[in-house]
Structure 1
Amino acid sequence: MIASEPEWTTPSSEAPNDEPSTLPTLTSSSIEVYTLPPRPKVVYDKSIQTSIDLFPSSAPQTDVASSSISTTTGGAGRETAEELRARIIAELEAERKQLDAEIAEEKRLAEEQLEAERARGLSGEKLSSVFANPAFVDFLEHSSKVVQRALSDSYDYLRDYTIATDASREEEEGKRAKMRLLGTWQDQQWGQRRSVTGVDWSPKFPELFVASYNKNPMAVNEPDGIAAVWNLHLLERPEFVFHAQSDILSIAFSPFHPNLVVGGTYSGQILLWDTRSRHSNPVLKTPLSASGHTHPVYSLSHVGTQNAHSLVSASTDGVVCTWTLDMLARPQETLELVHPAHNKTDEVSVTALGFPLGETTTFWCATEEGNVYASNRYDRAGAKAGLVQSEIYRGHSGPVTGIDFHPVEGSVDLSDLFLTCGVDWTVKLWRAGGALGGPSAGKAGGATKSKTSSSSAGGANAIAPLLSFEEADDYVFDVKWHPLHPAVFGTVDGAGKFDLWNLNTDTEARSLSFSCPKLALTLPRPSQVPIISTAVGESSPAASRPLGGGSGRRGLNKLAWERKEGRRAAIGSSDGKVYVYELSQDLVTPREGEWDQMRKTCNAALAAQQQHA
């Protein structure tokens, strides 16, 4: 295009002469014109992927490629599909080999760098940050416990089952090993210079047991009270460690909540720990106030069912409290046990507490004065809450250290039988009932009610024990019925001996000692000896040991039976160790006729009391 020229216009001749002529306004403009070539059209087909002319910078490579193409295609400029496929596969294989070589080289360099870092180690700051991480600490704690459980397992993983064994020899060794020591559990950090004050087995996990400890007088910076949950497959350290601000005197797993552990302390507090908690301190505890206990708590007992249960505790000032585990701020019930016939004070110093099987309202308490009293938690028909003043179970000449009711259900009702032990070196078998008419009164072994009581000062009837066992060499600190066998029980004493008794063994030659309440003496009878007497800590138990043979051994404080199988017994000692013994199956499995035999034993004891009353 060409820019237009300006046009000149002349005034019209027809315009009137009197009007002035007007000059036109002129403007200039310029226009730029571009010519764009058309876009080339590129066409592709199956043989040709790119055009060499489009990549002029890679001329040498394209020349070689074009020459190879022309060579392979016979000068036609195109290659067949098979040739193209083979060339692409070759190129991909070369790229793969090169990539593999690069990856291998990177791996080698990374390994060399890692080895150099390992040899150099972490710096102090990094190491501190790693150990301060809670996740790492939890992982290390859990994983190390798992490894230690596997290492502590006594199973022979290398046993060769193709080698024949001497069956008769193994059978003879099994008969000899009536009782064997499984192991000794003691925490080197927390268990030094402490005594075991309580032992209890887990109701859900048969390999777990808990032990409580008193104060270490040489460690002022450590907690006064310690509770440790041990595992049979872990010897070196406990599964859980709980702390308390006062000496723990009693400990028990909750039978209704297997993760909860309850302890009674010297200060009077009741503490509740949870194994699911990450902290060693109690999750709940009772206040130090007059609304609860203010004296040492030596006895705890769980009563009730899964849907309605409570905790009963007793302290040495005669106060019995009932608690719910979900609220320990105040006790549900408080009962003060008093006896007006006492000379200096009417308080009853409770050292042990026992409930008959299935009973929740009536209990028996052992005292420091040596007597055992029946008590009611509530007012009943003809009886008020508190001590039953008309009944006194007399037999011990010193403080009673333990009491345990018969726990086994069977063809014969033995729930009204209970055992006590004391510092007078004796263990005594009693029958609950008398004027109280306690649980299953008069049904012990199917025996009829006999004259086993005598009147004492204040009009109270003094009930004598059925049997007395006087084979101990020292204070007897604890006694427990076996959880499955109706006639078996165990005792531990200050001489370091663990004795196992069976009331149905050899009734003609066993050692019974019948107490005569009127003559206040022990009649000469064949003396009862335990079926097994073990010096705890030694590898081989003996049937009997001479008097004084346990010199140098530490005293044994507590005994607890594993509830499910009844083959294991945990024994706490005064040197902070817990010994676990395993009994042979024939010792703890009741045979046919054991219940009838126990009934006959109780009948014989009752007849002897009636004859010499």
Structure 2
Amino acid sequence: MFTDEALDSVSVCSLWRKSRQSAQESRGCQTRAINSTEAEVQTVSTTVSCTQTEPQDQATEQLLQQHLDQPEPPGLKDFLQRVEDAVIRELVRNARSHAFDWFQVNWEDHSQPVSCLHRLQHPSAQERGLHVTSVSWSCTGSVIACAYGRIDDGDWSTEKSYVCTWNLDRRGLNPKQADLVLDVHTAVTALCCHPEQPALIAGGLYSGEVVLWDTSRTQDPVLAQTGLSADSHREPVYQVAWVPLQKRGEFGVLSASSGGRVLLWTVDLDQGGFVLNAAYAMLRQQLPHSSSSSFKARGSSTVGVTSLALSPWDSDTFLVGSEGGLLLRCSFSSQTPAAVSSEGQSVTLRAPAVFSFRPRSGPVHSIHCSPFHRNLFVSAGTDGLVHLHSLLQANPLLSVRVSDSYIFQVQWSPTRPLLFAAATGQGEVQIFDLGRRSLRPAATIDQGGAGQAATCLSFNCQNPHLLAVGRTDGTVGVWQLSADLTEQSPRESSQLEQIANQVAE
């Protein structure tokens, strides 16, 4: 049933081992062969050079030898021997001189002394032929305010006028369009910005009224107004000024008119206007007369005030100029009653004049006290002269011929002790530097308008490089001054002190 049988072996390949081996692959990564090259750069040719000076003794000997070989110029030796002593004396003298002490050469600033930045104008005022009567900078130094009126003769008391302001820092400034225009019922004769509040402007009118404007009020900018009463002026107000009061931080308005009165006003918002604080009357019979004065009381008993100046050094002192050429030093604390009827006057009139300077030959249009010396001030008027005065002497220390016409305003520089500017009836503004040997103008501002007088000017105390000038053609020129006219030299204050110590002849 069963038998043995031998069969061949059968082998079966593993599929699992074969699939595993097929999944394995060998990979490699290698950078490409780096190629290298050697190169050389070499100049075509080389040169060696050297420089060497000869010894000083040897060079001197050669130079002397050359001169010995040449014939000596005739008379040269005698001339050198003759002038040797004089030359040595001058050299020693120059070595000891202080003429050029503190002198600094400016090799870079070659700009003009003055240049016009803006020419501001109000078309309506120009069409009516109004004049710029006063200009004033705000306490920030960025806003210029100008008043319009007339300085010529004629009946223009009922003519309407304007007060205009321009912000020079405003982007897109339009010189022919004022930022703010205030309509006024009569001519404006004086203007003064508040020393601490940029929105407040005090003004004097031809009618005798004193007005306070608040430019921040768009509906009704008139903050206070004196009106016409027994307490107020009845003649044109030619000057207004802000006066610090005894109360800390408060200011009053001082006004002067051709009626012979100087009034001090305080602002009372509760009563809705100005309140008269003090009143001063300039009466001829009560004026002190200096030994050099030939003034005689004649005509009206009152002295018409045309100019006013406050002392920055003494809060009790103010100066007054009159229509008749009188120049007076006055005191706020004077208790002398004025010999004039004050019927209806709520405040007693006082006579403030304590000293009289030598009278001028015509009306005194402008007075300004020096911001660098307590005793010095300048005055100007119809005689074309600017007089430098000392509060301690009746006669002027110095007189400078500025113009052949009227001088409407004179003002000290706020940064240069020896420099002042004067606006003339010939249309020019002359800037003088008393530190120069020659009393010729250091600079002249002339806009080229024939027959147009320069009626007013004002230095910018915050930006001393700016000077505003008003003219009878209704324009206000804003001029930029160079560094020579604004930067104080080291010895300038001492020179001013020397001038102040002079004795007037």
Larger radius of gyration: 1
Matched-pair contact (CA < 8 Å) for 2:267–2:274: no
Does residue 529 of structure 1 match 2:469?
A: no
Which string of whole-angstrom CA distances, capped at 9 and with x for unpartnered residues, describes residues 58-102 of structure 1?
Answer: xxxxxxxxxxxxxxxxxxxxxxxxxxxxxxxxxxxxxxxxxxxxx
Matched-pair contact (CA < 8 Å) for 2:365–2:382: yes
Which string of whole-angstrom CA distances, capped at 9 and with x for unpartnered residues, describes residues 220-256 of structure 1?
Answer: 9x96121001122521311111121111000111113
Q: Hey, which bits of structure 1, 4+ residues long, moved more than 6 A? A: 215-218, 381-384
Q: How far, CA to CA, are the matches of 1:421 and 1:482 in structure 2? A: 16
C-alpha deviation, 1:319, in angstroms: 1.1
Q: How far, CA to CA, are the matches of 2:222 and 2:474 in structure 1? A: 22
The structure, 1 or 2, with the larger RCO (C-alpha pairs under 8 Å, 6+ apart) is: 2
Q: How far, CA to CA, are the matches of 1:485 and 1:529 in structure 2? A: 17
Does residue 367 of structure 1 match 2:309?
A: no
User: How does 1:353-432 map onto structure 2 within 5 Å?
Assistant: 353-379=308-334, 385-388=350-353, 391-408=355-372, 414-432=373-391
- How many equivalent residue pairs? 367
C-alpha deviation, 1:213, in angstroms: 0.2
| AA at the equivalent of 2:276 | P
SS in 1 for 2:124: coil
Q: How far, CA to CA, are the matches of 1:215 and 1:480 in structure 2? A: 21
SS in 1 for 2:410: strand
Does residue 560 of structure 1 match 2:458?
A: yes
- CA separation of 1:401 and 1:465: change in aligned 2, threshold 3 A: same
C-alpha deviation, 1:258, in angstroms: 1.4
Q: How far, CA to CA, are the matches of 1:195 and 1:361 in structure 2? A: 34
Does residue 241 of structure 1 match 2:181?
A: yes
C-alpha deviation, 1:333, in angstroms: 1.5
Matched-pair contact (CA < 8 Å) for 1:184–1:580: yes
Partner of 2:497: 599
**1:309 alignment partner, one of 243, 247, 251:** 251
Which structure is higher in helix share? 1
Q: How large is the Cα RMSD of the aligned pairs? A: 2.7
Q: How far, CA to CA, are the matches of 1:532 and 1:479 in structure 2? A: 15
Partner of 1:577: 475
Q: How far, CA to CA, are the matches of 2:404 and 2:426 in structure 1? A: 6
Q: How far, CA to CA, are the matches of 1:601 and 1:319 in structure 2? A: 33
User: How does 1:88-103 map onto structure 2 within 5 Å?
Assistant: none
User: How does 1:82-481 map onto structure 2 within 5 Å?
Assistant: 174-192=109-127, 193-204=129-140, 206-214=141-149, 224-232=160-168, 233=170, 234=173, 235-279=175-219, 282-304=222-244, 307-327=249-269, 328-340=273-285, 342-379=297-334, 385-388=350-353, 391-408=355-372, 414-433=373-392, 452=393, 463-481=394-412
Matched-pair contact (CA < 8 Å) for 2:413–2:419: yes
Which structure is higher in strand share? 2
Matched-pair contact (CA < 8 Å) for 2:282–2:353: no
SS in 2 for 1:283: strand
Q: How far, CA to CA, are the matches of 1:366 and 1:332 in structure 2? A: 22
Q: How far, CA to CA, are the matches of 1:326 and 1:256 in structure 2? A: 18
Matched-pair contact (CA < 8 Å) for 1:478–1:492: yes
Matched-pair contact (CA < 8 Å) for 2:336–2:351: no
TM value normalised by structure 2: 0.68
TM value normalised by structure 1: 0.56
Deviates more, 1:488-497 or 1:253-262: 253-262
C-alpha deviation, 1:280, in angstroms: 6.1
Matched-pair contact (CA < 8 Å) for 1:377–1:385: no
SS in 1 for 2:328: strand
C-alpha deviation, 1:188, in angstroms: 1.1
| AA at the equivalent of 2:353 | V
SS in 2 for 1:330: strand
Give percent identity, aligned residues only.
Answer: 26
C-alpha deviation, 1:197, in angstroms: 0.6
Point out where structure 1 has 5 or more consecutive residues left out of the alignment: 1-170, 409-413, 434-451, 453-462, 511-527, 539-549
Q: How far, CA to CA, are the matches of 1:382 and 1:488 in structure 2? A: 39
C-alpha deviation, 1:493, in angstroms: 0.2
SS in 1 for 2:499: helix
SS in 1 for 2:494: helix
Q: How far, CA to CA, are the matches of 1:352 and 1:376 in structure 2? A: 16
- CA separation of 1:191 and 1:395: change in aligned 2, threshold 3 A: same
Which string of whole-angstrom CA distances, capped at 9 and with x for unpartnered residues, describes residues 288-311 of structure 1?
Answer: 111111111001111216623211
- CA separation of 1:199 and 1:182: change in aligned 2, threshold 3 A: same
| AA at the equivalent of 1:310 | G
Matched-pair contact (CA < 8 Å) for 2:214–2:221: no
C-alpha deviation, 1:215, in angstroms: 6.2
Which string of whole-angstrom CA distances, capped at 9 and with x for unpartnered residues, describes residues 453-480 of structure 1?
Answer: xxxxxxxxxx111110113131111000
